[in-house]
Structure 1
Amino acid sequence: MSSFQRAVFESVLSGDLEALQRCLEREAAAESRELDPFGMKDKEGRNALLNACMLGRTAIARELVRHGARVNERTARGEQATWLLRRTSFCSILLNCHFYVFLSLGYTALHLAACWGHLGIVGTLVELGADLQAKTFRGQRPVDLAQTYSRTQCANCLLTAEAKQDLMTYVGFVQDLVSDPESSLTGEEKEFCECACSAKTDWIQSVRNPKAADFTAQRRDMEDTLRPILHKPSAQLKPAQQAAVSRFDFFFTDARENWVKKRLLL
């Protein structure tokens, strides 16, 4: 490891934000920059950002991400592959998926923050685009770990973020469908859909202290409102439009998870 990587890592462990900032600023000004400034890891495969999040150091985590730390990077522990190999045949792994996928199913920064109960870090990582659906080799999402270890506030934060993401994804889906040149929607139907999207977008931007149930209710309301338009009989829909609706319905059902399990583990 380089002296720079070690300095970054030690600043994170000691919680010295000023030392970290000085180190990163010197590196930014240097002509020859470190290829992987956050490459140093501990014996558990945790880099600087992962340790910062595990220790609950919000300001340090923000500083690391601002300088290029990858928010969704995972730990790299050797037990993932062996754990999976014990539960499935080697042949099925070769036939159904890429082996390297299993080697990357460690813990993300959001997993660590959630299971240690660092609410501030959880909120920060969500804001910075952390993957809410990332799963470990045991199939655990960040919210699952928060619930397992009774980190109630973190679990509620993550459930709310998931519900918000669900609503925003549905709004984006409808917007894409409206703008699709192959769409068979009439002008009046498109205008109706656009109004529904605008109303939900305005609600998302203006609501204060919403809960997961609030986002879920808004999602269901929008879906119920647009169902007569988006779920026309197949004969009235062009193939691409019908496929898009079907794909979206599939994505938000338990069938998605069952499909993934079958593809990876059968």
Structure 2
Amino acid sequence: MVTAEAGGLGAVFLELMESEGPQDSESSEKSAFFSQHEEEEEGEDEEAAREPEETGTINPLLQPALTGDVEGLQMIFEDPENPHHEQAMQLLLEEDIVGRNLLYAACMAGQSDVIRALAKYGVNLNEKTARGYTLLHCAAAWGRLETLKALVELDVDIEALNFREERARDVAARYSQTECVEFLDWADARLALKKYIAKASAAVTDTEKGPGKLFKEDKNTVLNACRVRNEWLETHLEASINEIFEQKQQLEDIVTPILTKMATPRQTKGSKAVV
């Protein structure tokens, strides 16, 4: 962990909370979500939990990250002549005492394009804070729908759990972020279909088959059905949750009888039925 003692990140998060903080009944808990004393609550020593007294030099990535200046960020990362070029990744990954870096600030500010741009430099978008919150949890809590969409497009883990065993969808529901809940339900439905496609494909291509016999035509049937659903997912990005569930059900109706046949022990010549 690289702690941003000189970067003033703690003050930035506090300012974001004060300017755009929640007005609902759970505002105090939501502030605790981003509290500078999370580590103190988890038993860290008091010295580590205190806000740094000296602000020092402001992180040069901070202003472009919060204002959506993608070009400015790219200049720092890609221009060898930029005075901050060699330290760009270190500056990006500097953390406050609870494990939040500039990506979290960008999420809170709803800077989706910044998230997309910084993702190109190999950052871990599934990194967790001291209490298990991911960028997706952060965007969900603050109702940043477009940022949620960007993160899902970047294939983050939508099933990641925080210290409460909550997914981002649960956090969005807790803070009454209805649009975020609906979107994450949609993303979850797509993930469920993708997982079933992968499971079905693996079942008929695994070299170690089940006790039953897998006919070539059955294998082709499953693989073709999986391919059709994959293509459907790629070409129906606006499909509703119900439409996604229908596709999954249709695939299950094709695959289940074949998998059942594979799981049925083969009968060899001379074998007798048990009565």
TM-score (norm. length: structure 2): 0.67
Q: Give the corresponding residue for 2:73.
A: 20
Residue 67 of structure 1 aligns to a residue whose secondary structure is: coil
Q: Give the corresponding residue for 1:83.
A: none
1:203 CA drift (Å): 1.8
* Structure with a larger share of its residues in helix: 1
Contact 2:78 2:85 in 1 (8 A): no
Q: C-alpha distance in 2, partners of 1:63/1:143?
A: 24
Residue 161 of structure 2 aligns to a residue whose secondary structure is: coil
Q: Deviations over 1:115-158 (max 9, x none)?
A: 11111110100010111000100011011111222222211111
Q: C-alpha distance in 1, partners of 2:146/2:84?
A: 35
1:44 CA drift (Å): 4.0
Q: Deviations over 1:194-229 (max 9, x none)?
A: 221122123212225212222122112211222111
Q: C-alpha distance in 1, partners of 2:164/2:108?
A: 19
Q: Give the corresponding residue for 1:186.
A: 215
Q: Give the corresponding residue for 1:252.
A: none
Contact 1:5 1:37 in 2 (8 A): no
Q: C-alpha distance in 2, partners of 1:26/1:16?
A: 15
The one-letter code sitting in structure 2 at the alignment partner of 1:220 is: Q
- Are 1:161 and 2:187 counterparts? yes
Residue 137 of structure 1 aligns to a residue whose secondary structure is: coil
Match of 1:54 among 97, 100, 108: 108
Bigger mean CA offset, 135-144 vs 18-27: 18-27
Q: C-alpha distance in 1, partners of 2:61/2:85?
A: 17
Q: C-alpha distance in 2, partners of 1:115/1:231?
A: 43
Taking the TM superposition and a 5 Å limit, the aligned residue runs for 1:170-249 are: 170-183=196-209, 184-232=213-261, 234-236=263-265
Contact 2:76 2:84 in 1 (8 A): no
Contact 1:5 1:39 in 2 (8 A): no
Residues paired across the two proteins, number:
209
1:179 CA drift (Å): 1.6
Q: Deviations over 1:24-53 (max 9, x none)?
A: 223698899446342222344310111111
The one-letter code sitting in structure 2 at the alignment partner of 1:68 is: G
Contact 1:134 1:142 in 2 (8 A): yes
Match of 1:120 among 138, 141, 146: 146
Q: Deviations over 1:220-247 (max 9, x none)?
A: 221122211112374427xxxxxxxxxx
Bigger mean CA offset, 187-196 vs 12-21: 12-21
Q: C-alpha distance in 2, partners of 1:14/1:41?
A: 19
1:17 CA drift (Å): 3.2
Greater radius of gyration (CA):
2
Q: Which runs of 5+ in 2 are unaligned?
A: 8-56, 267-275
Q: C-alpha distance in 2, partners of 1:53/1:26?
A: 25
Q: C-alpha distance in 2, partners of 1:234/1:208?
A: 35
Q: C-alpha distance in 2, partners of 1:48/1:31?
A: 15
1:21 CA drift (Å): 2.4
Contact 2:133 2:162 in 1 (8 A): yes
Residue 7 of structure 1 aligns to a residue whose secondary structure is: coil
Match of 2:92 among 30, 38, 48: 38
Contact 1:163 1:215 in 2 (8 A): yes
> What value does the CA root-mean-square deviation take over the aligned residues?
2.7
Q: Which runs of 5+ in 1 are unaligned?
A: 81-105, 238-266
The share of aligned pairs that are identical, in percent, is: 33
Bigger mean CA offset, 172-181 vs 56-65: 172-181
Q: Give the corresponding residue for 2:123.
A: 69
Q: C-alpha distance in 1, partners of 2:58/2:79?
A: 12
Q: C-alpha distance in 2, partners of 1:178/1:29?
A: 53
Bigger mean CA offset, 203-212 vs 20-29: 20-29
Contact 2:125 2:135 in 1 (8 A): yes
Residue 94 of structure 2 aligns to a residue whose secondary structure is: coil
1:16 CA drift (Å): 3.6
